[in-house]
Structure formats: structure tokens, C-alpha cells
Structure 1
Amino acid sequence: MTEPPDHGAAAERTRLAWRRTALSGAVVFLLAARPAFHPDAGPAQWITAALAGLGWSVLVALAYRRARALRRRPPHRGRRSITAYALTTVALAVLAGVIVTL
């Protein structure tokens, strides 16, 4: 007799990984927003902070959507949200690299 697969632990680990990535996006946003509050900040700093804020907002929204999909039994695959999340994460990583090098 075979037992049905337990999707609970794997779904929970995945949900936590998505949350961790969203938190690292928050760090990028805060690092990008910091120069925008300097008295001599110009449009470049404001645009960088706005782009980082937009990226972080997308990460949080996608992570929330994916966490809801993982609660289903069996969990929903979510191919489009995974691709969008990966692309947004790469974009934030590139933005963070630009911020650090400047």
C-alpha cells in the first residue's frame, strides 16, 4: 500500500525561501533609497530608489501570490510567477551591483 506524498514540508520550505528572497529585496531597496534622502540627491538617486522600490513591491506581491498557491492541495505549479520572480530578482541584483560600484 502506497501512502500519498506529503506536500506540506516541501511547500513550507519553498514558501520560506520566497519570503527570504523578498526580504533580501527589501535590503536592496533600503540601500538604494538611502542616497535619495541626502540633501544633494538628484534625479538619478530618486529614479534608482523608485526602481528598487518597484522591484521590491513586485517581489512581495509575487511571493504572496505564490504562498497562496502553495497552500492548495496539491500545490499549484506557478510557472509564470516563478519566471517573473527570477527575472525580478536578477534585475534587483544588477541594480544592487550598480549601486555598490557607484
Structure 2
Amino acid sequence: MPRDPGAAPERTRLAWRRTGLSAAVVALLAARPAFHPDAGPAQWLIAAAAMAGWAALIGLALHRAPGLRVRPPRPAARTIRAYALITAAFAVIGGLVVML
């Protein structure tokens, strides 16, 4: 099967979009307890952190998208590391939501 060099950046761009959509779901689920009538400061802080993380992920994805459109795609090691770090932080936030 011949290699299509144009497909890899497109798949990567779509993967970034899927991750952003998944992060939106996680952020909304993490924010849900903050709307309970008995919600305290911890729930509000977790919700704020989740929304800030989601906004950061979307911002990074929008920053990275133009680099994937050029031929050859520009490398983005710092952006990818930041994206991975924020995604790991979402796992921690999800754990906090479950524990509280």
C-alpha cells in the first residue's frame, strides 16, 4: 500500500479535535457537582479547574492546527507536551470528582 503523506497530518488534526471534544465532556461532568445546592468551595474550584483546562486544550489545538496544514508539518514538541500534561490533569480532576 503506498504511503499517503497528506493523511497523517489530517489524522493528527482529527485526533486533536476528538481529544478536545472528550475534554469538553470531562469538564462538563466535573463541573456538574458545582451546581448542586449544597456545593462547597471544593466543588467550585474543581469545576473552575476543569473549565480552565478545557479552554487551554482548545487553545492549544487551535494554535497547533495551522502547523499541521503546511507541507511538511511543523514539529510541535512543546505543544504536544503541554497537551499531554493538561490531559493528565483531567485524570486527576476526574479522580477528585469521584472522591468528593
Deviation at 1:23, TM superposition (A): 1.0
Identity of aligned residues (%): 65
- CA distance in 2: counterparts of 1:47 and 1:65, whole angstroms: 27
Deviation at 1:97, TM superposition (A): 2.0
Aligned to 2:40: 42
Aligned to 2:83: 85
Aligned to 1:66: 64
Under a length normalisation based on structure 1, what TM-score does the superposition of the two structures give? 0.89
Choose the corresponding residue for 2:31, options 33, 39, 48.
Answer: 33
Deviation at 1:100, TM superposition (A): 2.2
- CA distance in 1: counterparts of 2:69 and 2:30, whole angstroms: 33
Under a length normalisation based on structure 2, what TM-score does the superposition of the two structures give? 0.91
The answer as to whether partners of 1:7 and 1:75 remain within 8 angstroms in 2 is no
Instruction: Provide the secondary structure at the position in 2 that maps to 1:86.
Output: helix
Range moving further from structure 2, 38-47 or 5-14: 5-14
- CA distance in 1: counterparts of 2:65 and 2:4, whole angstroms: 17
Which residue identity lines up with residue 94 of structure 1 in the other structure? V
Unaligned residue ranges in structure 2 (runs of 5+): none
- CA distance in 1: counterparts of 2:72 and 2:18, whole angstroms: 23
CA RMSD of aligned residues (A): 1.3
Deviation at 1:39, TM superposition (A): 1.2
